[in-house]
Amino acid sequence: MKIHLHKTAIIYLLLLFYGTIPFELCAQDIVSYAYDQAGNRISRKIVDLTVTPNPTHVKKSEDSAPIEDQLGERTITIYPNPTKGTLAVEIKGGDEKDELRIILYNSEGKQLQNKKVEQGTTPINMSTYPVAYYILRVIAGENVKEFKIIKN
């Protein structure tokens, strides 16, 4: 049994298929906001995660020093803590063969995020989570380290 499609139907199907691609690419953007001391939003910035995998929009806070700790031969730096939105986890050094993983838990122990990462800086978007304490677990091969994160 042969199926014959009219040229118009083929064009329609191709447009339907290729027309969804721009929407999939737009989904890789996040919006980063900055606030003043009173809680008023003072700026809005769209961050394209497909172009810049490192969170250059995340700044080290002047109010608190970044958390820095050793995990085996690696140096783990986390900033800003407390955070209002995006947290940056910077991993340097160590054996590149080890799998690196970041897992975020809420204060009740429920897993919120679990992602395999590479060395360098990884953004953790916490803007949709409520104000609370969180546990960030960093796993590098056999080594595990947990950090207390505060979301304001």
pLDDT in tens, 119-145: 999 999 998 999 999 999 999 989 999
Query: Is there a single domain that holds both residue 32 and residue 84?
Result: no
- CA 34 to CA 54: how far, in whole Å? 18
CATH number of the domain to which 115 belongs: 2.60.40.3080
Q: Is the pLDDT of residue 2 over 70?
A: no
Q: Is the pLDDT of residue 12 over 90?
A: no
- Give the residue, 8 or 129, on which the prediction is more confident: 129
Query: Is there a single domain that holds both residue 83 and residue 145?
Result: yes
CB 117 within 8 A of CB 91: yes
Residue 32's pLDDT band (cuts 50, 70, 90): low
pTM: 0.61
Query: Is there a single domain that holds both residue 21 and residue 73?
Result: no
- Give the residue, 47 or 128, on which the prediction is more confident: 128
Q: What pLDDT is stored for residue 22 in this prediction?
A: 55
Query: Is there a single domain that holds both residue 98 and residue 148?
Result: yes
Query: Is there a single domain that holds both residue 79 and residue 102?
Result: yes
Q: What is the DSSP string of 62-113?
A: SSSPPEEEEETTEEEEEE-SSBSSEEEEEEEES-TTS-EEEEEEETTS-EEE
Query: Is there a single domain that holds both residue 72 and residue 42?
Result: no
Query: Is there a single domain that holds both residue 84 and residue 29?
Result: no
Q: What pLDDT is stored for residue 9 in this prediction?
A: 74
Query: Is there a single domain that holds both residue 112 and residue 151?
Result: yes
Query: Is there a single domain that holds both residue 87 and residue 139?
Result: yes
**Boundary (domain end) residue, out of 31, 52, 73:** 52
Q: What pLDDT is stored for residue 41 in this prediction?
A: 77
Query: Is there a single domain that holds both residue 114 and residue 137?
Result: yes
Query: Is there a single domain that holds both residue 127 and residue 113?
Result: yes
**Boundary (domain end) residue, out of 52, 72, 90:** 52
Q: What pLDDT is stored for residue 54 in this prediction?
A: 45
| Range(s) of the domain holding residue 4 | 1-52
pLDDT in tens, 53-108: 444 455 555 566 789 999 989 999 999 999 988 999 999 998 888 899 999 999 99
Query: Is there a single domain that holds both residue 149 and residue 79?
Result: yes
- Give the residue, 58 or 148, on which the prediction is more confident: 148
Q: What pLDDT is stored for residue 80 in this prediction?
A: 92
